[in-house]
Chain A
Amino acid sequence: MSGGSVAPGRAMALTYGLVVRQLVTRGRLFALAAVGVVMVVVAAAVGASDADGDPVERGVRLISDLGFTALVPIVALVFAAASLGDMREDGTLVYLWLRPMDRWPVVVGAWAAAVTVSLPLTVIPLLVSSIVVDAGGALVGATLLAAVVGMLVYSALFVLVGLLVKNAIVWGLAYVLLWEGLVAGFGTFAARLAIRGYTRSIITDRTGIDLDLGDLSLAAGVTVPLIVAVVAIAVSSIRLQSMEVA
C-alpha cells in the first residue's frame, strides 16, 4: 500500500482544503467582518450627508482611503500570512513538506485558500459601501475590479512574507502602514512599489476622480499586480523548497 507521487492538481486541492479549514476561525471572521461593517456604516453616513463638494469624489475617496488603504491589505495580511506562516510557526508544515508533492501547488493552494476566505470579507462590504455612498455605478465596477486585483496580489505577497519571516503580521503592517501609507508618497519609484498605487489607478481610470498615486493606466493597474502575484508565488515556491522546516 505504499504511497506514491501526488499530481500537482491534487496537491493544490488538498492544500487548499486544509488551509481553508485552518484559516477560518470564529475570532478572525468576527473581527474582520466587524471592520467591514464599520466601513459600510461610515459609507452610509457619508452618502447621507449633505456636505459641500462633489458627492462622487467624496465617495470615491472614502472607498479608496478606507477600503484600499486598510480593509483589503489588512484582511489579506491576516489570512495570507497565516496560510503557510502559521504552519511554519507551529511545526505542522512538516505534514505538507515531507510529501511526494511539488512545492508550487502547495503555495498556489495556500494562496487560493487565503484569497477565498478574504474575498467575501472585503468585496461584500466594499460593494455595499460603494452603493450606499451613492457615487455612481462606475465606482461599483471599479471597486469590484480593484478589490479582486488587490486581494490577489496582496495575498501572494503576504504568503511569501509568512514563509520568510517570523511575526509576518508585524512586517506586513509595516509595509502597509509605513511604506504604502507614508514612503510611497515621497516619490515615483517608491509609489511603483506600493500595491495601493495600482488599485487606486484602477479606480481613477474607471471613475475619472484623480487620486494620489493613481496615475497609471488601467492596463498597468491590472497587469502589473498580477505579474507581481505570479512572481511572489514563484519565489514562495523556491523559498518553501529551500527553507529549513522545524
Chain B
Amino acid sequence: MTDWTPPQTDAAVTAPPTAPIGTVDPPPAMVEVAGVTKSFGDVVAVSDVSFRVDAGVTALLGPNGAGKSTLFRVMCGLTPPSQGTVRVLGRDARRDREVRSRIGLAPQQDGLFDRVSALQFVDIAAQTLGVADHDAAARSALDQVALSADDPKPVGSFSKGMRQRVKLAAALVHDPDVLILDEPLTGLDPVQRNRMISFFHELGDAGKCLLVSSHVLDEVARLGSRVLVIAQGRLAATGDYRALRDLMDDRPHRIRVAADRARELAAALVDRSLVDGVSVRPYELVVDTTDVDRFGRSIAVTARELGVRLHEVEPLDDDLESVFRYLVERR
C-alpha cells in the first residue's frame, strides 16, 4: 500500500496511527476502519483494509467489483466484517442504533419506493430518521439537489439522474455528520455533476465527513485531492492525490513527441540518456522517461541543436487513470 503524509492544513485521510508508549491516544476519527476483511464464502471482497477519515470530502476510487460498495456496507453496519472493526463517530453502526441517525447513506443500488413521490420518499426518510420538522427538512433536501418538492409523479417514473438525486436528498435530509455516497454522480448530467461536486465540498468545508465512491477517474480528480484507492479488495493507496502523483515520479512517464525527422531526434534523446525507452513512427515518437522534468527542459534544446522542428509534446498518462493503472499493476 502506498501511504503518504496528507496536508496538515485540514482534516484528512490517514493510515491508522501507532501511538508511542507514554503518549495519549489520538482522538477518534469520524470514520475509522481497522483491519477489515469481508468474505462471502470463498470470495474475499475486502481484504485487510485500514484507514481513518475525518471532515471533508474523501474519494474512494476503484473499478467496478473492487469492493467499494462492500466496504461502504460494512461501514454502515449493513453487513458485519469477517474480521476487523469499523467505527463511525466512535460507534458500531450495526449494534448502536443511535449512530445511525448521524449517518447518511446513498446506496449504489437503484431501488426506491417507486410508488411514492420524491417528497413522500424523502419525507419517509426524515420521519424514520427521527427528524422533528420532517416536511420542511424533506423540502429543503430536495431543494438542495434541485428537485421539485411539488412534483406529484412517483419516483418510479423518474429518470436515472432524478432517482439518483432523490437518493441524495434522502441521505441529506437529517443533516448527518457522516455521508457515505456510493457512486452518487452516476446518471447525472455534467451541470448536475458540477453542482453536486460543489455541494459536496460545501458540506465538507462545513465539517461533514463525506466518503464518495466512484469508478470514473475524472470524477475523482474533481471530487478532491483526498483519495482512497481500492483494487481487488485491497487498499492500494491512501492520501492526497497530488502528493501521490509527486511520490510516483519514479514511474516511467509516457510522452508523445510530434516532430519531423523523428528517428534522428529519438537517437539523440537516447544518446543523452534523456529517455528510458522510445518507439518511433513517421513524424512521431513516444518516449518513456522517469525524469520528466529533465526531459521537459532538454527536449526543446536537443531539437534546436539538431535542427528538428517540434510540432507537439503531449503527456499520454497525465491523468488519474494512469495513476490508478500504475497502482493496480504494481500490486
- Taking Cβ atoms with an 8 Å cutoff, the residues of A that contact B are 1-6, 10-11, 14, 18, 21-22, 90-92, 94-102, 244-246
Contact = CB atoms under 8 A, between A and B. Distances in A.
Given A2-B174, A6-B128, A18-B113, A94 B97 contact: no
Contacts of B130: 3-6, 100
A246 B70 CA distance: 9
A96 to B, nearest CB: 7
A95 B174 contact: no
Interface string B110-132: 11110110000000111111111
Contacts of A22: 113, 115
Given A1-B174, A21-B113, A98 B100 contact: yes
Contacts of A94: 78, 105, 107
A91 B128 contact: no
B133 A95 contact: no
A11 B78 contact: no
A92 B113 contact: yes
Nearest to B93: A98
Contacts of A245: 73, 78-79
A246 B69 CA distance: 10
Given A95-B113, A98-B78, A1 B131 contact: yes
Between A3, A92, A97, A245, the greatest number of chain B beta carbons within 10 A of the residue's beta carbon is seen for A3
Interface string B84-113: 000000000100011011110101011111
Interface of B: 73, 76-80, 93, 97-98, 100-103, 105, 107, 109-113, 115-116, 124-133, 137, 170, 174-177
Given A3-B131, A94-B105, A99 B124 contact: no
B125 A2 contact: no
25 contacts: A1-B137, A1-B175, A2-B101, A3-B131, A4-B130, A4-B132, A14-B124, A14-B128, A18-B113, A21-B115, A22-B115, A91-B107, A91-B111, A94-B78, A94-B105, A98-B76, A98-B93, A98-B105, A99-B97, A99-B128, A100-B101, A100-B129, A244-B79, A245-B79, A246-B73
